[in-house]
A = this chain, B = another copy of it.
């Protein structure tokens, strides 16, 4: 069994929260100071899904610190997982699927690092992982479900079953996953960290409740009043947020619902580099896009303005 007791120990996880300040105060800081909260060996849960609302600015800033021995968990892992593998930043990936999407085929980086045993790959079903985060968000050590029963996935993480005390039915006791840190990108937040997401919510709200430390970027920091006029749009409570950074295009070239579309052509260029040079293709990409730029603005400047504007126009066309 590969899940560590720390992942489902709701008692210890709760005591970590009890020991934290839960402030309604200001949370705005820089990308650099925000990711400085991550320690080597931490379990990092990543928000968004595949190439949607990925907290790329936070991952960009985190990898520049050359972290080691991280565990990364995400519902569907996209190329941020490949970056971490090639950067030597992670020992383990927890997800239900890894790749970019059908047109780009299998992830050669996943194959190379997992088949060689350099990175442990812990697979859950998509709902299974979602329930792991939700159990933690609810402050319980497990949630009952029918999913994954009978499959070989039950053995991967060491899942156990439980008998319902009322019906006698056997259910999968999906173990909670309490990450050390959650990295999340949202559409807007006030400076206190009350965050709002447009469109599909993915698993971000659960991840923010499950983690001990929440690091968040927002496309836009809005006045307190704007959040208070639409409180039914808020999904992340400010007191749960430790650091907040305003980052327009904070998921680019991944998409952000309603604001900008993804850039499949860029994904193709990235994957062509891997097809040509294998892991070195990613290493070269990291040098150019992650380690090279002096700032995230410089990273964005590596993409033509016209592309970003087109991506925004496509997003408007698809959501209005």
Contacts and interface: CB of A to CB of B under 8 A. Distances in A.
A142 B160 contact: no
Given A140-B144, A144-B141, A232-B198, A160 B166 contact: yes
A229 B10 contact: no
A46 interface: no
A171 interface: yes
A143 interface: yes
A152 interface: no
A165 B142 contact: yes
Nearest 4 CB-CB pairings of A with B: A160-B165, A141-B164, A141-B167, A140-B144
28 contacts: A10-B169, A11-B167, A11-B169, A138-B145, A139-B146, A140-B143, A140-B144, A140-B145, A140-B146, A140-B171, A141-B164, A141-B167, A141-B169, A141-B171, A142-B164, A142-B166, A143-B143, A144-B144, A160-B166, A161-B165, A162-B162, A162-B165, A166-B173, A166-B175, A199-B231, A200-B232, A201-B232, A229-B320
Oligomer copy total: 2
A171 B8 CA distance: 14
A142 to B, nearest CB: 6
| Most chain B CB atoms below 10 A, which of A9, A140, A146, A198 | A140
A5 B164 CA distance: 13
A145 B144 CA distance: 12
A157 B160 CA distance: 28
Contacts of A140: 143-146, 171
Contacts of A161: 165
A231 B258 CA distance: 12
B166 A199 contact: no
Contacts of A162: 162, 165
Interface string A174-200: 010000000000000000000000111
Nearest to A9: B167
